[in-house]
Every structure is written in C-alpha cells, then in structure tokens.
Amino acid sequence: MAGKRPKRRTVEGEGGDSRSPLSSAYPTIARWASGYGWVEFGIDGQDRPFARAEDEGGTVWEGEGPYETLDQALDDMEEGLARFMEEEGFIKKRSAKPKAHARSGKRTRRTKDTSRTTPHKPDAHPAVKKVRNLEAVAEALRRGEGFSVTRLTTIKRLCEDAEAAGAFALFLARKIQRRMREKAAPQRYRQLVNRAVREMAPYLKDPTEGRKERLYPLLREIEGEQDEYENIPFGLLRKVKSFDLLVVEHALKAVIRPSEAPYWLYHAARDYTGQTDQLVPKTAPMVEEIGGFWRKHYGIKG
C-alpha cells in the first residue's frame, strides 16, 4: 500500500478548512454506495482492521490490509471496486492518459480532415459487454471453475430498462413453469405459476390498471404459501419450501414495482441458478440460459 496518493480536489469548508468530499475523492466508492450496495470499515473481533464492499449477494471486494490509515483503506477500495465494476460492465474501463509531448519550435503540420468522408461507427450497445460477461462465466463454469453468485449483479444493470426487465421476469416465470412441470411439483404451486404467466404476459403487452390490479391478489397468494419465519439473531429467517415458487414471486414483484425490478430480478436469477452464495459447475446451464435470453433480447450477433 506504499506510495504517494494522487492529489485530490478539495472544497473550502466552514472556518476556512479544506475538505475532500467523498464523491470527488473516491468516485467509484460513492457510485457503489449510492446505487449498488454498501461499504464497511472497522475492527473485527481479533482487532484486525478491515475494509470491504458488499451487496445483497455478499462481499464483492475485501481489502487485504493491514491499513495504517483510513485513507489507505479507501485508496485500496477505490482501486479494487473500480476493477470489479469494470469487469462486470458497470463502468467503462479507464483509458490511459496520453503522454505529454514537449513543444518544439517546428510548426505543427495540419492533417487532412476526414470527418466528412469517413463514416461514423456507432459504439456497441452497452448491454453487449454485460451479456458476454455472463456467457464467459457460464463457459468457465463448464470448465469446472466456481464464482461468487455476486457475478450475477450485472443483471441489475440489464434490468434498469423497464421493458427489458419485464421481458426477463416473464422469461424466468416461464422457465419455472416448465421446470415445475418436469419435476412434478405440487399441484398448488403449478397452478399459481400458471396463473402468474397468464396474468403477466398480457399485462406486459398492454399494462392497463385493470390488469395490474389482478396481479396484487395473486402475489399475496404466492407469498402466503411461504409465510413462515424463524427468529434468529438480529432478525427473522424466512422458511422457503420452494425456491422455484420464490423465483416467480420475485418476478411478479419486479413487474408490479418496476422501479425495484433490478433488485428483485437479481434475486430471482440467484434463486433460479441454485439458491446458494456460489455459482458452481452444475449451475452452468442456468447461467447459459440467462445469457441466451439477453443475447436474443438485444439481438447480439457473434
């Protein structure tokens, strides 16, 4: 962690002191904490300092430490989170700054303007990289590798578009419908899932208030099938009998509450792939199906 830290822009605070606001000093940390997850700093039970970044799926980055100062921990987190968010396609890769050239006495030769003769090549759709990241994870799983389930957080970004989120919710519900049929799941669960697919499809095609009103009682019925909780330290633990039914519950919530769709569909995808904190080789087919949906949705070729 040695080395000089880059100079940071400061603002003048009250009393004439100079302060460095988090958003400008550590932009990646600020971005993460404002829309993706949270960060933690402190001392553990063995008096070891720690720094980590988390989301609903668990830890996405953890500092190696030890850190002598909080600034060192923040610097390490800024760099680590930036790498993680670049890999997941949340942010664009940082480009190297061009080298400065010394001035000379020679005049700069004017180059020919080709802007009118060279056609502009549009940038690739931002979803392309995210979809290929999902496919790369599936390929690695096929080879026997494993990952934290937080690699699926890229789905949150893909689901920021309401139309795409609705289509993905319906896709997952239909997958569960087929899975329940193949597994001979309890009849009550299959009936609820069949109703969910029947109600979601026309609503997404023509979202009238009347159709939306029919989704609410259906959601309550599905929630009611798994409404037992157990007291545990610091909260309650829900007893889940069927994760397949839980996937459809999350999908319905995403359709009913589109502003919350990224959150619910991330959890739906997690439960669809395996209900654990890890992506393991046997989850490769499910990750491939998810990647295939997004490839088809955005018409990605090659």
Distance of CA 132 to the CA centre of its chain: 14
Residue 100 lies in a domain: no
Q: Do 189 and 56 share a structural domain? A: no
Pick the residue with more confidence: 206 or 109? 206
Q: Do 47 and 170 share a structural domain? A: no
> Of 228-237, 259-268, 279-288, which range is least confident?
228-237
Residue 97 lies in a domain: no
pLDDT in the model for residue 199: 96
Q: Are 8 and 20 in contact (CB under 8 A)?
A: yes
Residue 119 lies in a domain: no
Nearby residues of 293 by Cβ (< 8 Å), 6 or more positions away = 167, 168, 171
Tell me which residue range forms the domain holding 196.
Answer: 127-298
Radius of gyration of the chain (CA): 24
Residue 21 above 60 pLDDT?
yes
pLDDT in the model for residue 108: 38
Q: Are 69 and 186 in contact (CB under 8 A)?
A: no
Residue 27 lies in a domain: yes
**Over residues 204-225, mean pLDDT:** 96
Residue 112 lies in a domain: no
Pick the residue with more confidence: 284 or 56? 284
**Over residues 141-170, mean pLDDT:** 93
Q: Do 74 and 147 share a structural domain? A: no
Question: How many angstroms separate the Cα of 106 from the Cα of each of 101, 109, 252, 286?
Answer: 13, 9, 68, 62
Distance CA(89)–CA(129), nearest Å, equals: 6
Given its phi and psi angles, is residue 160 left (phi above 0), alpha (psi -120 to 50 degrees) or beta?
alpha
Q: Do 271 and 137 share a structural domain? A: yes
Q: Do 183 and 78 share a structural domain? A: no
pLDDT in the model for residue 31: 84
Element at 80 (helix H, strand E): helix 70-87
Q: Do 67 and 169 share a structural domain? A: no
Residue 264 lies in a domain: yes
The highest-confidence range among 32-36, 84-88, 100-104, 258-262, by mean pLDDT, is 258-262
Domain boundary pick from 70, 87, 104? 87
Q: Do 270 and 148 share a structural domain? A: yes
Domain boundary pick from 87, 114, 138? 87
Distance CA(173)–CA(272), nearest Å, equals: 10
pLDDT in the model for residue 98: 46
> Of 44-48, 113-117, 224-228, which range is least confident?
113-117
Q: Do 185 and 37 share a structural domain? A: no
**Over residues 189-211, mean pLDDT:** 96
The highest-confidence range among 12-21, 27-36, 55-64, 91-100, by mean pLDDT, is 27-36
Distance CA(266)–CA(272), nearest Å, equals: 10
Q: Do 238 and 141 share a structural domain? A: yes
Q: pLDDT band at 38, cuts 50/70/90?
A: confident
How many domains, the chain? 2
Q: pLDDT band at 122, cuts 50/70/90?
A: very low
pLDDT in the model for residue 1: 42
pLDDT in the model for residue 44: 56
**Over residues 187-192, mean pLDDT:** 96
Residue 169 above 50 pLDDT?
yes
pLDDT in the model for residue 198: 96
Q: Do 293 and 234 share a structural domain? A: yes
Pick the residue with more confidence: 225 or 111? 225
Residue 57 above 90 pLDDT?
no
Nearby residues of 156 by Cβ (< 8 Å), 6 or more positions away = 36, 262, 263, 265, 266
Residue 12 lies in a domain: no
Q: pLDDT band at 32, cuts 50/70/90?
A: confident
Q: Do 61 and 132 share a structural domain? A: no
Q: Do 214 and 294 share a structural domain? A: yes
pLDDT in the model for residue 76: 84
Residue 26 lies in a domain: yes
**Over residues 68-75, mean pLDDT:** 80
Residue 2 above 60 pLDDT?
no
